[in-house]
Amino acid sequence: MINEKKNDDQVIIVGGGPIGLICGFWLAKMGITVSIYEKGTIIPEDLRASTWHPATLDMLDEYDISDMIIRKGSITPSWQYRYQDTGERAIFELNVLEGETNHPYRVQCEQFHVVKYLSNKIQGLDNANLYLNCNVFDIAQDEEGVDVHIIDNGEKITERCKYLIGCDGGHSIIRQKLGLGFEGKTYPVLTMVAITDFPFEKYYDGLSGVNYIWTEKSNFSLLKVPDRWRSGITPIQGQNPKDTLSDNSLESHFQKIYSRPGERYNILARGMYQTHQRVTETFNLGRVLLAGDAAHLNSPNGGLGMNCGVHDAINLSNKLYKVWHGSDHSLFNLYTRQRKTIATEYVHSLSDANHRRMRQTDPEVRREIMNNLKEITSDKRLMKNYLMKSSMIESVRYAESIK
Ligand X SMILES: Cc1cc2nc3c(=O)[nH]c(=O)nc-3n(C[C@H](O)[C@H](O)[C@H](O)COP(=O)(O)OP(=O)(O)OC[C@H]3O[C@@H](n4cnc5c(N)ncnc54)[C@H](O)[C@@H]3O)c2cc1C
Q: Is 37 in the site for ligand X (CB under 6 A)?
A: yes
Q: Is 117 in the site for ligand X (CB under 6 A)?
A: no
- How many Cβ atoms from other residues are within 10 Å of residue 327's Cβ? 13
User: Residue-wise over 71-82: b if at least 16 C-beta within 10 A, else e?
Assistant: ebbbebebbbbb
Shortest Å distance, C-beta 67 to ligand X: 19
- Chain residues 295-354 in contact with ligand X, contact rule CB under 6 A: 300, 303-307, 309
As a whole number of angstroms, the distance between CA 317 and CA 163 comes to 11
Note whether 50 binds ligand X by CB under 6 A. Answer: yes
List of residues 6+ apart from 190 with CB closer than 8 A? 235, 241, 272, 273, 274, 275
Among 13, 14, 180, 396, binds ligand X (CB under 6 A): 14
Which region among 44-52, 88-96, 257-265, 383-391 touches ligand X (by CB under 6 A)?
44-52
Q: DSSP readout, 313-349?
A: HHHHHHHHHHHHTT--TTHHHHHHHHHHHIIIIIIIH
CB of 328 to ligand X, least distance (A): 27
Q: How far is the CB of 361 from ligand X (least distance, A)?
A: 21
Kindly tell me which residue out of 26, 69, 168, 254 binds ligand X, with binding defined by CB under 6 A.
168
- Count how many residues are written for the chain: 403
If one asks whether residue 48 binds ligand X (CB under 6 A), the answer comes out as yes
Using CA atoms, how far residue 290 sits from 143, 210, 212, 293, 392, in Å, is 18, 31, 32, 9, 21
Count of residues that interact with ligand X, criterion CB under 6 A: 35
Q: How far is the CB of 117 from ligand X (least distance, A)?
A: 14
CB distance 185 to 277 below 8 Å: yes
27 and 11 Cβ atoms separated by less than 8 Å: yes
Q: Which helix (H) or strand (E) holds 130?
A: strand 128-131
**184 Rama class: left (phi>0) / alpha (psi -120 to 50) / beta:** left
Sole binder of ligand X in the list 49, 222, 387, 396 (CB under 6 A): 49
Residues between 190 and 249 that touch ligand X (CB under 6 A): 191, 193
CB nearer ligand X, residue 83 or residue 135? 135
Using CB under 6 A as the binding rule, whether residue 152 contacts ligand X is answered as: no
Across-strand partners of 191? 273
SS3 175: helix
Kindly indicate which of the ranges 31-39, 98-106, 251-259, 331-339 contains the residues binding ligand X, using the contact rule CB under 6 A: 31-39
Residues forming beta bridges with residue 135, ordered by sequence position: 151
Closest to ligand X by CB, 40 vs 184, is 40
Contact flags string 266-285 toward ligand X, x per CB under 6 A = -------x-x----------
Which residue has the closest beta carbon to ligand X?
17
- In the complex, the smallest distance separating the C-beta of residue 344 from ligand X, rounded to whole angstroms, is 15
Scan residues 53-92 and list those touching ligand X (CB under 6 A): none
Q: Is 51 near ligand X (CB under 6 A)?
A: yes
Considering all CA atoms of the chain, what is the largest pairwise distance in Å, rounded to the nearest integer? 69
Residue 387 lies near ligand X (rule: CB under 6 A): no
Sole binder of ligand X in the list 60, 114, 148, 167 (CB under 6 A): 167
Shortest distance, CB of residue 276 to ligand X, whole angstroms?
A: 9
Interaction between residue 35 and ligand X (CB under 6 A): no
| Binding-site member from 173, 194, 210, 350 for ligand X (CB under 6 A) | 173
338 versus 391: smaller Cβ distance to ligand X: 391
Residue 69, C-beta contacts closer than 8 angstroms, at least 6 positions apart: 52, 57, 60, 107, 109, 113, 114
Q: How far is the CB of 393 from ligand X (least distance, A)?
A: 15
Report DSSP letters for 148-162, one per residue.
EEEEETTEEEEEEES
Half-sphere exposure of 164 (CA within 13 A, CB side): 29
User: 92 phi and psi, to 5 degrees?
Assistant: -95, 120
Interface residues with ligand X (CB under 6 A) are 14-20, 37-40, 48-51, 111, 135-136, 167-169, 173, 191, 193, 273, 275, 292-293, 300, 303-307, 309
